[in-house]
Amino acid sequence: MKSTCINIIKQFKALLINFLENMPKKKIEKVVKKLEKKEKFIIPLHDRVLVRPLTDEELEKKTDFGIILPDTMDEEKIKDQGVVVAVGEGKYDDGKLNPMTVKAGDRVMFSKYGFDEITINDEDYFILKEDNILAIIK
């Protein structure tokens, strides 16, 4: 069994070297840069949701005629809407998995004080429990 694994690894190594030797140098440099960047991604656990807060442009309100209404809300009120980026698997109750109601891409309104702020790759996000999501905005 051990010798079979070693042979498979050797074959894979030979294929990889052959592949890299035939790949254009610019493409190799591009792949290396992506690997060096080491971007992080968060996968929420259980019934938690990763939300990107809405930008100022996304929060602007327009009338049917295209007139932009100024936003008089203070900073506290702005932090109650966002777009779902990732969701956990769901919550277990009595050994049964209850799937999440929200999904990635949903625009949601959530409790002002029910989230934790985190920064990933120089962007701000919120992690909150699904129970703290008040509504899906359609």
Structure tokens at 60: 């602007």
- State the DSSP string of 53-81: EPPHHHH-EE-TT-PEEP----HHHHTTE
Residue at 43 is within a domain: no
pLDDT in tens, 9-44: 877 777 777 776 776 777 767 766 666 665 567 788
- What's residue 1's pLDDT? 63
**Do 16 and 58 belong to one domain?**
no
CATH code at position 105: 2.30.33.40
pLDDT mean over 77-92: 81
Q: What CA–CA distance (Å, rounded) separates 5 from 137?
A: 52
Q: What CA–CA distance (Å, rounded) separates 3 from 6?
A: 5
Band (pLDDT 50/70/90 cuts) for residue 74 is very low
**Do 81 and 18 belong to one domain?**
no
64 vs 85, more confident = 85
101 vs 122, more confident = 101
Q: Nearest to residue 114, comparing CAs of 135, 132, 130, 88?
A: 132
Residue at token pair 């949903």: 106
Report pTM.
Answer: 0.59
Instruction: Indicate the average pLDDT of the chain.
Output: 76
Q: Name the residue range of residue 98's domain.
A: 48-137
**Do 96 and 64 belong to one domain?**
yes
128 vs 116, more confident = 128
Structure tokens at 29: 């440099």
**Do 60 and 25 belong to one domain?**
no
- What's residue 5's pLDDT? 73
- What's residue 34's pLDDT? 63
14 vs 75, more confident = 14
Residue at token pair 């807060």: 53
Q: What CA–CA distance (Å, rounded) separates 96 from 108?
A: 26
For CA atoms 60, 76, 116, 118, the dihedral sign is positive
